[in-house]
């Protein structure tokens, strides 16, 4: 059974700072990795996907993947109060129709 | 990103009745659709996985006779909560997957009184 672990937080950062969210996973054959943002009472929204080792940048977001360490992270630069949400790490297999396993999420609070 | 819709967004029903929730992928054909449930302050819990034209695969502990899933086409899946009870009150979220990524519907808030 795959496991995806995240620190539940809350992680509190001041506006403008870098928020660093971390995630570890147990299944070495995992091939796809995702970060979702979920506002309270809303459905998760995909913000980043990463499939190979290294960094992937998209605007203020950078995803980092290290398959050897089974570790994936999300950096949010210039954090804004609107970034305050729960961030879910998700890990999937390598075939179409894979089953994605979600972490419990990290609550991020950006203070104005 | 791809768009997934759910209907209704919110439903209140009496104990013992059944409720149907629809999930549609609006601008793509989904190889697989998933149904999740999320209780307050908890993470998403996968209930079942369905592929078009075949029976859904349910996760351990999820009653297939209570949570009926019909995957009629590559763009439509339905979840029917039969004989609902107050403990079924939750946020039900569907998602539709392409070969690489998974997109979520907006969710359905079910309240059973």
pLDDT in tens, B11-51: 999 999 999 999 999 988 888 899 999 998 788 889 999 88
Of residues B5 and B100, more confidence is placed in B5
Query: Are B44 and A102 an interchain contact pair (Cβ–Cβ within 8 Å)?
Result: yes
Q: What are phi and psi of A23, to 5 degrees?
A: -155, 135
Task: Give whole-number Cα distances, B48 to A66, A69, A100, B54, in Å.
Answer: 30, 30, 12, 12
Residues B48-77 as b/e (b if ≥16 CB within 10 A, e otherwise) read bbbbbeeebebeeebeeeebbbebeebbbb
pLDDT tens column, B73-102:
889 999 999 999 999 999 999 999 877 778
| Residue of B35, B37, B44 to mutate, interface with A, max A Cβ within 10 Å | B44
Using DSSP's 3-state secondary structure scheme, residue B86 falls into helix
What was the pLDDT predicted at A95?
46
Which residues of chain A neighbour B43 with C-beta distances below 8 Å? 88, 102-105
Query: Are B31 and A88 an interchain contact pair (Cβ–Cβ within 8 Å)?
Result: no
What would the mean pLDDT of A20-27 be, rounded to a whole number?
94
**Among A102, A82, A110, which residue's Cα sits nearest to residue A15?**
A110
Rounded-to-integer distance, Cα B18 and Cα A9, Å: 37
Using DSSP's 3-state secondary structure scheme, residue B47 falls into strand
Name the β-bridge partners of B9: none
Using DSSP's 3-state secondary structure scheme, residue A81 falls into helix
Judge if the upstream peptide bond of residue A38 is cis by omega within 30 degrees of 0: no
What confidence tier does A1 reach under pLDDT thresholds 50, 70, 90?
low
What would the mean pLDDT of A94-105 be, rounded to a whole number?
71
What confidence tier does A93 reach under pLDDT thresholds 50, 70, 90?
low
User: Out of A41-50, A91-100, B95-104, which region has the weakest mean confidence (pLDDT)?
Assistant: A91-100
User: Out of A15-19, A27-31, A41-45, A66-70, which region has the weakest mean confidence (pLDDT)?
Assistant: A27-31
Is the predicted pLDDT of residue A98 greater than 70, yes or no? no
Instruction: Return the structure tokens found at A104.
Output: 């419990």
Q: Is B1 on the interface with A (CB under 8 A)?
A: yes
């Amino acid at each position: 059974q795959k496991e995806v672990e995240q620190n539940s937080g809350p992680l509190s950062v001041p506006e403008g700072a870098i928020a660093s969210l971390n995630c570890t996973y147990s299944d070495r054959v995992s091939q796809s990795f995702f970060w979702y943002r979920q506002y309270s009472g809303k459905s998760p929204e995909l913000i980043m996907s990463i499939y190979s080792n290294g960094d992937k940048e998209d605007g203020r977001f950078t995803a980092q993947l290290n398959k050897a360490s089974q570790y994936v992270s999300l950096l949010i630069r210039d954090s804004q109060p609107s970034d305050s949400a729960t961030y879910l790490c998700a890990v999937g297999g390598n075939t179409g129709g894979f089953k994605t396993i979600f972490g419990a999420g990290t609550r991020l609070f950006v203070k104005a | 990103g791809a768009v997934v819709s759910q209907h209704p967004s919110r439903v209140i029903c009496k104990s013992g009745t059944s409720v149907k929730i629809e999930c549609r992928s609006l601008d793509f054909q989904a190889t697989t659709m998933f149904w999740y449930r999320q209780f307050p302050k908890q993470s998403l819990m996968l209930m079942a996985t369905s592929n078009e034209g075949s029976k859904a695969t349910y996760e351990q502990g999820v009653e297939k006779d209570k949570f009926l899933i019909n995957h009629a086409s590559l763009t439509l899946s339905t979840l029917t909560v039969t004989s609902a009870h107050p403990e079924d009150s939750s946020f039900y979220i569907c998602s539709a997957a392409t070969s690489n990524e998974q997109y979520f519907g907006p969710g359905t808030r079910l309240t059973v009184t």
